[in-house]
Structures are given as C-alpha cells and as structure tokens.
Structure 1
Amino acid sequence: MSDEIKHECGLAYIRLRKPFSYYLQEHGSVMYGLNKLYLLMEKQHNRGQDGAGIASVKLNVEPGYPFLSRMRSNAPQPIADIFAKVGAEVQELKKYQHDITSHPGLMKGHVPYLGELLLGHLRYGTQGKNNVEFCHPFIKRDTQPGRNIALAGNFNLVNTEELYDLLNINPGEFQKQSDLAAMMEVIHHFLVKEDAENPNCANLVNVLQKAIPLFDGGYTIGGLIGNGHSFVMRDAHGIRPAYYYINDEVIVAASERASIRTAFNVGENEVLELMPGMALIVDDKGNYMIQQIVEPKERRACSFERIYFSRGSDEKIYRERIALGYHLSKRVLEDINYDLKNAIFSYIPNTAEVAFYGLVKGMEDYLNKIKVERILSWGNDFTEEKLTEMITRKIRQEKIAIKDVKLRTFITNDDSRNEMVQHVYDVTYGTVRNHQDTLIVIDDSIVRGTTLKESIVRMLARLKPKKIIVVSSAPQIRYPDCYGIDMSKLGDFIAFRAAIELLKERGLEHILTEAQERIKELQRTNQLHTENVVRQIYKPFTTEEISIKIAQLITPEDITFPTQVIYQTIEDLHDSCPTNTGDWYFTGNYPTPGGNKVCNKAFLNYMDGKNVRGY
C-alpha cells in the first residue's frame, strides 16, 4: 500500500498443557513456550509496529508470590526489545555458581514470564496515542486470583461511551482514548460478579455471554484469568481473523494461520479457523472447549486481510492475491488497446508483488492465445526465424521502483518537504523507451493518493513514458472503517475528494447540504445508526467517472502525458476472495449499526472542517 495507513493488530496465545520438565526433556528447553510466543509474534510483525506486549500467568503459585506478569514496549523494534529483556533475565541466572536453567521449578520461580499461559500482542495505533500505556495487554489486578485478568485484542469498538454509561463509569482521559479499556471494564465487571457466585471457579461462558453482546465492533480478543482459565473470542460477523491449533502439548491461537503453521511446523488442515461468535475456552487443567457465545451473523470477514494486511505466505491468501491481479488483466488489455509490445508492467510497493504476478499471468494467457492463433493462421507459410520470433515474445516486466530508507520530516517548510517526499522512491533508468512505452504499475490499494501524486507519479515521470496507468487491486475506498483500520476521516480518501470535485463541477453542491441536514436530523432523533447518508454523495456518478477524476487529482500539474487509474470491481473482489466478503469501506454496507453512525459523523466532521476521527 503506497499510502501508509495504520491497521489491524496481531494476537498470539499459548497454553502449555504439560509440565515445564516435559518441554526440557522433549524440546531441550524450559523456555519452549516463550520461544514459540516469540515466533508467533515475529511471524505477525506486519500486523503492528507501534508497540508490543506480553503477559503470562503461572499455575499453582504459592500465596504471596506473583502469578500474573506483563511487559510492554513501544521501542522502534518492540518485539525484539521485549524478548531481549526476557533473555537478559535468563542470562543473569546463568551467572550463578549453580546454573539453574536446567531446573524447571527454579526457572519458573525466577523468570517472571515463564508461565503456562502466555498472551502476546502487536499494536498499530488505530485508537489512542502511541504511548506504551496504550499497548496491549491491559491488566486488572485483584487480591483474589479469579478476578485478575490480562486482555488483548485486534479490534475497534464504536460504542465505548455507551459501555461506560452502562457501567455508570465516568472515564478518565486515558479511558476515553482506549476502546480496550472499555472492553476490559465490561468483561471484568461480569467476571467479578461470576466470581462472587463461584469463587475461583468463574464460568467464562457465562461471563462472555453477558459481556460480548454489548460490544459493537469487529474483534478477536484473548484473555488470561489469574486462576488459570483463559479464552480467545471472535466477533459474530467474523470481521477480524482468528485461527487455532491444538495437540497434547499446547493450545495455540493467532491472528494468522501461516504464523501457527510456521511456528509449530504443521499442515494447513491442522490449523482451524475460530468461527464467528465462537470462543476457545481453556480451564485451569488445560481442558478446552469451542463454545458458541453469540449467534453467528452474516459472515463479513475483512477483505483487506486478503488484499493487503495478512502475510502472503498463507497459501490461500497467495492464490487470492494472484486472482485479484488476474481479474484486472482484461481491463488493462482493453485500455492499452492490446499493445503489449509497447507496455511495461511493474508494481509499487512490494506488498503488491503477488497481485502483480496475477496481472502478468493474465497478460501471458492472452499473449499465448494470440501466439497459437497466429501460428495456426500461417499454415505452412513460416520460417524458423518467424516462428522463433513469435514463440519467444514475452510480457515486458521491470523492477521500476526502488523504495529508499524512510525520509525523516526534519524539514518543516512545506515546499522543501514535498521535494524530499518526491525521492522516497527511486527509478530504474533505461527501462522505458521515451514517449513510446506505456507504463503499468499495480498497487494493492489507493487510499489518500498523496504518495502517488507527491512521489510515485512524479518519479515515474522521470522515465518519460507515453502514458502511466496505475492499477489498484482493491476497489475505490469511499467510506470510513471502524473495525480495526485507521481510516475514519472522509476527507482523507481520494475517492471522496474526487466525488466532491465532480459535485462542484456539475453544480450539484446542494447534495452536500442536503446530506448534512439529513444527518443532523438523524442525530437529533438518535437515529444516526439507521442509515448511511454518505452514499448519496457518490450516487450521481459512475465508478469510471470517479476514477477519471482521481487520475486528475493524483497527476502533478507539470506532468503533460496522460495518467489513468484502473480499480478492481466489487464483483471481481468477491470472486477472488470468496470467504472474506467484508467490503464496507468500498460499498458503505456496514456489518453493524455502529458503522453507519461513524460514517455519518465523519461526514459532519468534514463539512464542519474538523480534522478528527469519526468515533
């Protein structure tokens, strides 16, 4: 994604089912669980680089000794920072005259994070600031073990204010900025009530069945209870991903299937998806159940997981990204008038590489078809040279762009900063024939268009192509997200700005004021959640008209040759990614009522000139 957005988070959960002595004997280390937690987190580091955290719970700890530990970091490399500190504690133990690292009981007593229950989290700052205090897991401490909880998740909630009102809590400044804080208060509230009825034997099914229906959002959450119970829970629409793996040694859950497969070296079918509305619940003895907590609703798993967020090492995601690129090939061929001799294909940034392979495969299939037709049309009228020339034709592919190190914004003058931004990418000179070749570059999605205009298009212009075509493997992003992606300001979206420009050009600005008045009326009657009024802004225009305007907006004024933008269609998106049908940022079809509310508030913010989030 050429436009940086902050998105998603990553969750890692491990429950050891054997004594630490078992892992020392079978795997050579009492650190087996922590080592696997580190792997799970590193294999998901793409999901969060603003911070990380881990929590552990130790079983059967003597009264008065700590059983719940937590460490968080917002260092530049937070995972490495956390586990370096854990490693330093272990190395310190080796300095003693009697090395205790091969003594499981002593190690458990001396290493705070050597617990049977482990929870890891990777954070992107979609809500709140990037201070370490906002990093998950959050914890609630109590003198009674069954009322202690560590909680982390991949989610956003859109009804945090209502949750605090429900519990009659007046949140402080920190709580207002953290939806995890609100979720924690709710779950802990019901946990305490359940523990009061069944001391240290609280039924997590009861707790979750009371708490979960109150949350409006998309989420996968993991929780550790001080008495040794734990859970991983997924929302009713399956918006956020969750997978698990169980054998007689461990119970594992994570946000991505491939991370579990790699960390534990298991096959695809051994890692299962935690289905919508379900919870993986583990008791203090290591027994587990997969329990329906809330009734599943229409599956609306986030399609951005397949387009961009999840690592492409998952074989299904890899194939789906190939399909996304392949579906675009017919449209690109039409727009270059099938002139492959004078077309060069590339991708920006690296995350679009797999979709690029799919796009090229579509071109190759077309070219091979043409080769067969031409050769058959010759009959016996051909020479070896003519045949060789035909069968050796290839799609022209080049590594056009190279991303240099991230430039620092130490220059405050806008003109100077723009000059620096232009050089985030560099080009491979000599790859394009001046004013003859059409340059087609694929991006996985286009959000703001800022990087395209200020850096990529200007950079590509140095190669002096005949034309630039920017291809997006995702459809036009038109609406805010409120389920884990930091896209909540309408004015940031290039598609929205294009629609506004078209309204102005065609004298349809009254649509803006009518939409504003309609939303204010809904607000007065407390009905903001019932209707997505922002759809009216796009209604007068075809997708192609908006794409043309977007192309104009991302083209610097001093670029004279044409620039074009081609977007994925909604239909081809769903055909490519059939199990992840969540498309509200493209269509405005939100899975929960809170989405409409956020979208409408975002529009009011735009009209009022407020550069704030919609929730």
Structure 2
Amino acid sequence: MSDQIKHECGIALIRLLKPLSYYKEKYGTWKYGLNKLYLLMEKQHNRGQDGAGAVCVKDHLAPGSTYINRYRSIQQNPIKDIFDRINKPLKKAIRKGTDVNDCEWAYQNYPFAGELYLGHLRYGTFGKNSIEFVHPVMRQNNWRSRNLVLAGNFNLTNTDELFEVLVDLGQHPKAYTDTVTALEKVGHFLDEENQLLFRQYKNEGYQNNEISPLIESNLDIRNILERATKDWDGGYAMAGLIGHGDAFVVRDPWGIRPAHYYANDEIVVVASERPVIQTAMNVQWNEVHEIEPGEALIIKKKGEVKHEMVRPPHKRTSCSFERIYFSRGSDRNIYNERKELGRLISPAILKAVDYDFINTVFSFIPNTSETAFYGMLEGVRSYLTNWKIDELKKKNGSLTNADIKKIISFEPRVEKIAIKDVKLRTFIADDASRDDLVAHVYDVTYGVIKNGVDTLVVIDDSIVRGTTLKNSILRILGRLHPKKIIVVSSAPQIRYPDCYGIDMAQLDKFIAFNAAITLLKETGRESVIDEVYQKCKEQQNLPKEEMVNYVREIYRPFTAEQISAKISELLKPDECLSEVEIVYQSVENLHKACPNDTGDWYFTGNYPTPGGNRVVNSSFINYIEGKHKRAY
C-alpha cells in the first residue's frame, strides 16, 4: 500500500500442556514455549510496530513467589528489546556458573519459564505512544484467580456507554479508553464469579485455604465472558490469562477481527494469522483452525480445551482489508484472493489502455501489491490467449512460420518500475525535511519507457489518502515521461471511516470523500452537504441503534467512474506532464474474490454494528465543524 496507515494489532498465546522437563527431553530445551512465542511475535511484526509486550504465568509456584511476569516496550525494535530483557537473567546466571538448562531451577528462578505465555504487538489507533497503552494490561489481586491479564486486537465504538456502566457499578476507572474499559469489565465479572464460588464453598463448610483451589478448578470462564461482552460494540479478538492458569481467547460475534489456533496434546497456540502458526509449528493449513465469531476458546489450568459460544453469532462480516492488505500474503486463501482481485480488474485495465499492448508497460507499487499484480497479468494473458486463437483462425492457411511465431510469442510488457527505499523512512525526522524526503521513498527504473509513447500501468493494494501517490509516486513516475500513467487499486474506493481496529477515522483523510465533496461544489449541489449535516446533527443524541448512515448521500449523485475521474484530477501533481487515470476495483468484484470475508463498511458504509453508524455520523459532523479528532 502506498499510503501508510496504522492498523490492527497482533496477539500470540501459548499454553504448554506438559511439564517443562517434557520439552527438555523431546526438543532439547525447556525454552520450547518461549521460543515459539518469539517466532509468533516476529512473524506478526507487520501487525504492530508502535510497541510490544509479553507475559509469562506460572501455575504452580509456592505462595510468596512472583508467578506473573511482564515486559513491555516502545523502543524502535520493541520485540528485540523485550526478548533481550527476557534473556538477560539467563545470561547473568550463566556468568555465575549456574546450570540454566536445569528445568526446576529455571521454573523457580527465571521469570519467563512457565506454562502460559501471552504476546502482543501494538499499532496505536488512539492515545500517545506511551508504555501505558501497550498490551498486555494487568489487573492484580492477592487471589491468583482474581488476577487478569488481557491483550487484544480490537476497537470498541461505545466506550462512553461502557464507561458509564462501570461507574454505575461503583468503579472508578483510571482512564477513558476501550482497553481500560474492557479490562475492568472482564475483571468485574471475574471478581463476581470468584465471590459467588467463595460463598458457595464457605456455606458447604470448606476452610478458606481449601476454597482457593476449588475456585480455580471451577471458574466458569464462559459465564464471565458472556456477561462482560454483553454490551460490546466493535471488532475484537481478545486474549486473556488468569493468574492461576486458565486462559481464553474470545472473538466478536461478527468475526470482524481474526483469530486462529492450533492444538495437540503438547501445546495450544493462538495467533491473529493462520500462516504464522503454520510456520512456527510446522503444521499444514488444515490443522490450523479459526475461532468462530462469537466463540471463546477456553483452556483450563488442567489442560482441557473447550469451545464455548459466548455471544450469538451475527452475519459474518470479517474485515476484507485483512485479505487485501493487512494479513501476511503467505496464507493460502489470502494469496489466491489477492491474485483474484488482480485478475478481476484486468478487463477495466485493458479498456483503459485501449487494448494497446505494444505501447503499454505493466508494473506494481511495491511491496504488498505484488500478488495482485500476478493476478492482473493472468487476466491480461488470458485475454491475449483468446486474441491469439482468433488471429490464428482468421488467417488460417496464409500464415508463414514467422507470422505464427510472432503471434504466439506476443506477451505483455512487464517491468519492475517502482522500487521502495525502505531505509529512507528511518531518516525522516524534522518537519522541514519531511516532504522532500517522502518524495524520494520510491525510486524508478530508467530507460524502459518510451517518452511520450508508452502508457504505464501500476497496480496498488488500495488508495486511502493518496498523499504518497501524489507527493512521491506520481512525481517520480512522471520523470519517465510516459504518455499516460494508470494507477490501479485492487480495492474499491475507501469512502467511510473504520472503527474496528484500523486508523481510518476521519472522513477528510479519504481522497474519495474529498473528490465527492469537490464534485458537489463544482456541480452546484452544495445543499446536499448542508442537508447531510443537518440530518446527522438531528440524530446526534439518538441511541446508536436508531442512527442511519446519511453520509452515503454525499456520494449518491455521482457514479464511481465520475468520482475516480475527480480523484485522478486531484492527485495529479502540477509538474507531471503525463495524463493520469485512477482505476478502482468494484465492490462486486471484491466480494467475488473474497466471498467469505464480506466486511466492506469502508467501501459501502454498511456497518455491521450500530456503533459504526454513530462513528460515521460523528465523523461527518467533525468534518463540517472543523474538528480534527477521532470520531469515537
């Protein structure tokens, strides 16, 4: 993606089902679980680079020993920083001559030798990049079964409502964020479950020191999660550890945020992405399973793994942006879907170049659009195959060997034109230098474009703001002096804010929205803007369940092609002498390519939860009133 947007987060949970000595004997090290945690986090570093954290829980230490240990970091390379700190006590012990391979010594003395691990990678969509915002977050207590650790990939749209619920319960939350709200909500019902069981066993005549193990064995995690998530509006994949050794991962009932797991008789592994588990555990695609929408994967202290329905599942609307861009392309299905996105848009591309293969060069904007590029080429070559058949049929019997060779060897011109200079970004510091340096993030291959003759086609995953496209890519491509530059987006026009985990909350940041507003003004329809504003204001204080997405009316007077044409005009740099055209994927083709992940609210405004309509409503009001802030 040419536009850099912050998005998502990544989770990694590991539950060892055997004693550490088992892994030492079978795999040569008791660090088997810790090593897997490192792999899972490193393989998901694409999901979060603002910060990272890791927690280890030991489930059978004697009282007086620290059984929950946590490290968090917001350093430039947070995963490395965390594991350097995790490994530091081992290096110190080795210098003292300690046998650090001894499992019992490690369990008693090394903070990260345990049965339960939880890792998190953060991309901040809200709040400063402070250590306080980095997961895992903790709620501590002297009772092991009341200690709670949470880490998630989520955004809740109704934090204000949930905050008031906590206040009504008598709590005094320390911050007004969805992370604190979720932690305290789960923690409240964890406390209630503990108290309920305590009273039950007390009435049955058990002594206090006998009650704690009974509570730990019989905590109803499903009931806790069912009550805690009852009013949550948003997308979430939430992982949690409880101090005595229970663990869980719960997924939103719409399946917006992803979560996958693998389990055998040695280990349970959960991560945000399937191929990450495949790589870390060396298992096949069909051995890794998806946690279903509304479901909780619950791992009890004794190793029992259960699937419990926590929320009634709604119509599945998994995030299609996961398929287009966010997730690793090494997943079998995602790879094929991205190729299909490229293939499906090839007819529109061929129309845009007027089927002139001789004077057209096909390329892509690195790096994540490469798979869609292969699909686009498949579509182009499929057209050419049919053309070759027709040519051979038309001239049957009159072709020389040279003519036949010329026809069957004809191929689209393919070149690697744009080259991303990844290292350059690390040097962008002061504002005065930023714009000039951003313009040089991409370099180009010179000498393959015929000046004023060739059309250059480059495909991108999606175009959100268009800033990098205008300030960098199109300027640099223009230096090659093509007759025309066609930028292809394998995703449809992004028109509406996201509120389920991606940093796309302000309408005026979207080039499609700005194009529609410009068209309304140019065509004398400014009254539409005022009417939408009034409708949004009138429903501002309604319950979110009664709100309507009136922002759709901003786009209604125009076709997708008209908006694309205006986007082309807005993004063309003044110094670029080439004609510029932007070609977008259609929503219909998106659903053909990604049939199982139909979440398309950023393209269509069809939000799966009521909170989405409230967010788009607030975002438009903020735009009109000049308030540059998040809409939820």
1:551 matched residue in structure 2: 568
CA contact (8 A) 2:440 2:472 kept: yes
Q: CA deviation at 1:246?
A: 0.6
- Find out whether 1:92 has 2:110 as its counterpart: no
Partner SS for 1:319: helix
1:412 matched residue in structure 2: 431
* Deviation readout 1:134-187 (Å, 9 max, x if unpaired): 1100001101101101100001011111111101179999722x3111100100
* Deviation readout 1:354-390 (Å, 9 max, x if unpaired): 0000001111111122112212322222222222222
| Aligned pairs for 1:197-596 within 5 A | 197-199=196-198, 200-201=215-216, 202-404=219-421, 405-407=423-425, 408-413=427-432, 417-526=434-543, 530-596=547-613
Partner SS for 1:224: strand
Q: CA deviation at 1:412?
A: 3.4
Partner SS for 1:477: coil
Which sits farther off after the overlay, 475-484 or 555-564? 555-564
For 2:69 and 2:539, locate their aligned partners in 1 and report how far apart those are by CA, in whole Å: 47
1:157 matched residue in structure 2: 156
CA contact (8 A) 1:13 1:253 kept: yes
* Deviation readout 1:243-278 (Å, 9 max, x if unpaired): 111100001111000000110001111101111000
CA contact (8 A) 2:56 2:70 kept: yes
Pick the aligned partner of 2:623 from 590, 600, 606.
Answer: 606
* Deviation readout 1:313-372 (Å, 9 max, x if unpaired): 011100000000000101111111111111101111311000000001111111122112
For 1:564 and 1:483, locate their aligned partners in 2 and report how far apart those are by CA, in whole Å: 31
CA contact (8 A) 1:127 1:179 kept: no
The runs of at least 4 consecutive aligned structure 1 residues that moved more than 6 Å come to 169-174
CA contact (8 A) 2:540 2:617 kept: no
For 1:431 and 1:128, locate their aligned partners in 2 and report how far apart those are by CA, in whole Å: 46
Aligned length: 611
RMSD, aligned CA: 1.5
For 1:112 and 1:195, locate their aligned partners in 2 and report how far apart those are by CA, in whole Å: 27
Q: CA deviation at 1:529?
A: 5.3
| Aligned pairs for 1:125-144 within 5 A | 125-144=124-143
Letter in 2 for 1:250: I
Q: CA deviation at 1:431?
A: 1.3
2:3 matched residue in structure 1: 3
For 2:19 and 2:487, locate their aligned partners in 1 and report how far apart those are by CA, in whole Å: 56
For 1:113 and 1:523, locate their aligned partners in 2 and report how far apart those are by CA, in whole Å: 49
| Aligned pairs for 1:96-111 within 5 A | 96-97=96-97, 99-111=98-110
Q: CA deviation at 1:406?
A: 3.0
CA contact (8 A) 2:260 2:289 kept: yes
| Aligned pairs for 1:119-198 within 5 A | 119-168=118-167, 175-176=175-176, 178-198=177-197
Change (3 A) 1:555 1:171: farther
For 2:135 and 2:340, locate their aligned partners in 1 and report how far apart those are by CA, in whole Å: 35
Partner SS for 1:275: coil
Q: CA deviation at 1:86?
A: 1.5
Q: CA deviation at 1:542?
A: 0.7
Partner SS for 1:406: helix
- Find out whether 1:31 has 2:24 as its counterpart: no
Letter in 1 for 2:82: I
Change (3 A) 1:332 1:174: farther
For 1:115 and 1:126, locate their aligned partners in 2 and report how far apart those are by CA, in whole Å: 32
Change (3 A) 1:213 1:172: closer
Gaps of 5+ in 2: 199-214
Partner SS for 1:351: coil
Q: CA deviation at 1:402?
A: 1.1
1:15 matched residue in structure 2: 15
Letter in 1 for 2:431: T
Partner SS for 2:596: coil
CA contact (8 A) 1:330 1:362 kept: yes
* Deviation readout 1:82-126 (Å, 9 max, x if unpaired): 1122122222222233x3222111101111121101111111001
For 1:174 and 1:4, locate their aligned partners in 2 and report how far apart those are by CA, in whole Å: 32
Which TM-score applies when normalising by structure 2? 0.95
1:48 matched residue in structure 2: 48
Letter in 1 for 2:439: Q
Change (3 A) 1:534 1:485: same
Gaps of 5+ in 1: none
CA contact (8 A) 1:100 1:107 kept: no
Aligned residues with identical type, % of pairs: 51
Partner SS for 1:168: helix
Letter in 1 for 2:16: L
Partner SS for 1:386: helix
CA contact (8 A) 1:221 1:233 kept: yes
For 1:27 and 1:41, locate their aligned partners in 2 and report how far apart those are by CA, in whole Å: 20
For 1:241 and 1:419, locate their aligned partners in 2 and report how far apart those are by CA, in whole Å: 38
For 1:463 and 1:109, locate their aligned partners in 2 and report how far apart those are by CA, in whole Å: 65
Q: CA deviation at 1:411?
A: 4.5
CA contact (8 A) 2:481 2:577 kept: no
For 2:171 and 2:380, locate their aligned partners in 1 and report how far apart those are by CA, in whole Å: 57
For 1:145 and 1:439, locate their aligned partners in 2 and report how far apart those are by CA, in whole Å: 63
Q: CA deviation at 1:485?
A: 0.3
For 2:303 and 2:173, locate their aligned partners in 1 and report how far apart those are by CA, in whole Å: 38
For 2:578 and 2:442, locate their aligned partners in 1 and report how far apart those are by CA, in whole Å: 20
Letter in 2 for 1:51: G
Which sits farther off after the overlay, 555-564 or 18-27? 555-564
Partner SS for 1:115: coil
Q: CA deviation at 1:418?
A: 3.1
Partner SS for 2:540: helix
CA contact (8 A) 2:451 2:481 kept: yes
For 2:536 and 2:544, locate their aligned partners in 1 and report how far apart those are by CA, in whole Å: 9
Which sits farther off after the overlay, 568-577 or 192-201? 192-201
2:203 matched residue in structure 1: none
Which TM-score applies when normalising by structure 1? 0.97
CA contact (8 A) 1:101 1:107 kept: yes
Letter in 2 for 1:350: N
Q: CA deviation at 1:560?
A: 3.0
